[in-house]
Amino acid sequence: MRSNYIVALILIASVIFSCKNENNTTSNNSELKANATKQKMKKKEVVYQVFTRLFGNTNTNNKPWGTLEENGVGKFNDFTDKALAEIKDLGVTHIWYTGVPHHDVITDYTEFGISNDDPDIVKGRAGSPYAVKDYYNVNPDLADNVENRLQEFEALIERSHNAGLKVLIDIVPNHVARNYQSLTNPEGVTDFGAEDDKTVTYAVNNNFYYNPGEPFKVPNWENGYQPLGGENHPKADSKFEEIPAKWTGNGSRASQPNMHDWYETVKVNYGINPEGKKDFDELPEGFDNEDYKAHYNFWKDKTIPSSWVKFKDIALYWTAKGVDGFRFDMAEMVPVEFWSYMNSHIKMQNPDAFLLAEVYQPHLYRDYIKKGKMDYLYDKVQLYDTIKHVMQGHGSTYNIPPIQEDLKDIEHHMLHFLENHDEQRIASPDFAGNAEKGKPAMVVSATISTSPTMVYFGQEFGEKAEEDLGFGDPTRTSIFDYGSVPSVVRWVNNKQFDGGQSTEDEKTLRDFYKRLLNFTITSDALMGDYQDLHHYNQQHTEWYNDKVLSFARWSEDEKLIVISNFNAENTYGFELQLPEDLVSKLALKEGDYQVEDQLYKNYTSTLKVENSRAKVRIDIKPLESFILKIKE
């Protein structure tokens, strides 16, 4: 689907550029119509990431290292029809249920045939969702009836679909829990490592790397850290039997990893030997331009390493259950050829699957999109990091337009966010200290490109993440411990999901997110063209400065000017100017046009077009944004 979309754009562009029409207006109208065809294919998408075990938990005890019984836990069934309808109504198209696959937990589920997990190799009491113990089942914490936990998740998939939401879950291909053991493998499927030759460091079809003859040793704890906060626990004895020792998830080859390593996980072998040689076929030159069907066919007659097949089977297992896509953890730590194999198989089963990945090295972006057939990557190290600095008051908006220029060939594939489970909350003191400072950043993030937008549950309330729940640190909502999220608890309001206990500030902020996100998923212009206004106004407009940002977005039927003020104290007034080339592209004629803000409908101004240039008076308050629609 993505390849066909790109081909359509190329064909449209070739028609436009081959047309030698002397009449600029006619030419520009043709361009707008061609772009309109593109936009009607798809609208903006919004992903709502929710940490599943925290969402519905209304227990406010939040004791550090508290047990499930003490601090409570959210369940699949907390996502009622009402809850899902409210999430959908926020302006959401996809919901990412984080922490669904069965990962290590300290809670005792032995009565259900589930082995106990060792605190010496588990982070927190509730465990890391990225130390998966069983890919063919779900976290028992999340079920009302543990024996029927898989059926409860299947019912949640159905409820989500009925609410108009597509479902994403995590797959973590780089590593698994040290004690991986599936209880519910489909027939013919064996566990990771079950058939490994453990007498060698590496073999192409081993699932893990080994240190033959060396036992694993628990890390030496530093700075007073103790598993479970020092609680007396029969398994917290600084021992875990693993002979021979496996390499650790982040690539540490030490039999005793450092406590700052991903010691709770083991690295998966994809057929790359310890010297870095690839023991599998590589994609032919130029194959990055081929569609997923060609990639699927390429691998048909190739010898495929065992780990590739295992993860492909896992993805197809969940796809068959109705999961609409995946968020792939640390995708760049796995060879891009695997992603060509994996994603093409997923797309053959569901061409519309939503495939999102963590890749933090910009020089790899295009490989993972084109060769790896990813739909979307995090735009973290460029847009997120840059806009965070602006929000904190020590960054310049002048640094934002060059990012869009650098990524213009792949801008649709670079998912935007301001919060997720790995990052600090906007309202936390180490980030911006004030959720209001997220407003201009959110407008820019959600409207500057055609890419999807992601929000993290609680972001819409200004959650501060002040709680110390045990392993995790405040400023980030803990993913390792049992607890609840105060602002979400108030909105959940004893499972009524109506904001009945929310503060006025929380209600007002959620209303802002609701207005913005719903506008983005219905706007044609936001799937159309983009032009920076910042550089031109920096050079030509008095009082314009690096605490504001402006750009234009347009389609045949909708023309927008977006402007945001990142300054928390100053109101700015100036005559925002549109350069001659943009006036031509927008097919604006001489005269006056009314512009109206689309967020709150309470700001209007007049765009004056004269001598092929245009200007509009802007008076913008601290942390205010306008999405100005040009009325014709």
pLDDT score at 41: 56
pLDDT score at 28: 40
Residues of the chain with pLDDT under 70: 1-41
Tens digits of residue pLDDT in 163-200? 999 999 999 999 999 999 999 999 999 999 999 999 99
End-to-end CA distance of the chain: 35
> What element of type H or E holds 25?
helix 24-40
Q: Return the DSSP state at 30.
A: H
Q: Which of 123, 50, 125 minimizes the C-alpha distance to 90? A: 50
Measured in whole angstroms, the distance separating CA 313 from the mean position of its chain's CA atoms is 23
- Cα atoms in the 13 Å half-sphere on the side-chain side of 169: 27
Q: Tell me how far CA of residue 337 lies from CA of 191, 393, 413, in angstroms.
A: 23, 41, 19
Task: Please name the residue ranges forming H helices in 105-188.
Answer: 149-162
pLDDT score at 87: 98
pLDDT score at 11: 34
Q: Tell me how far CA of residue 627 lies from CA of 93, 111, 461, 544, 564, in angstroms.
A: 21, 57, 22, 18, 9
Q: Which of 5, 10, 18, 13 minimizes the C-alpha distance to 31? A: 13
Q: CB–CB of 220/256 below 8 Å? A: yes
Q: How many whole angstroms separate alpha carbon 529 and alpha carbon 557?
A: 12
Q: Tell me how far CA of residue 600 lies from CA of 46, 47, 437, 551, 628, in angstroms.
A: 20, 23, 18, 19, 11
Peptide linkage before 219 cis (omega within 30 of 0):
no
Q: CB–CB of 36/17 below 8 Å? A: no
pLDDT score at 283: 97
Q: How many whole angstroms separate alpha carbon 334 and alpha carbon 258?
A: 22
Measured in whole angstroms, the distance separating CA 330 from the mean position of its chain's CA atoms is 12
pLDDT score at 16: 30
Q: How many whole angstroms separate alpha carbon 507 and alpha carbon 493?
A: 13
Joined tokens for residue 472: 């995790």
DSSP-based three-state secondary structure for 312: helix
- The b-or-e profile of 17-36 (16+ CB within 10 A means b, else e) is eeeeeeeeeebbebbbebbb
Q: CB–CB of 343/363 below 8 Å? A: no
> What element of type H or E holds 31?
helix 24-40
pLDDT score at 472: 87
Joined tokens for residue 300: 């048909």
DSSP-based three-state secondary structure for 247: coil
Contacts of 581 (CB under 8 A, 6+ apart): none
Q: Return the DSSP state at 18.
A: H
pLDDT score at 251: 97
Q: How many whole angstroms separate alpha carbon 559 and alpha carbon 609?
A: 14
Q: Which of 165, 267, 263 minimizes the C-alpha distance to 208? A: 267
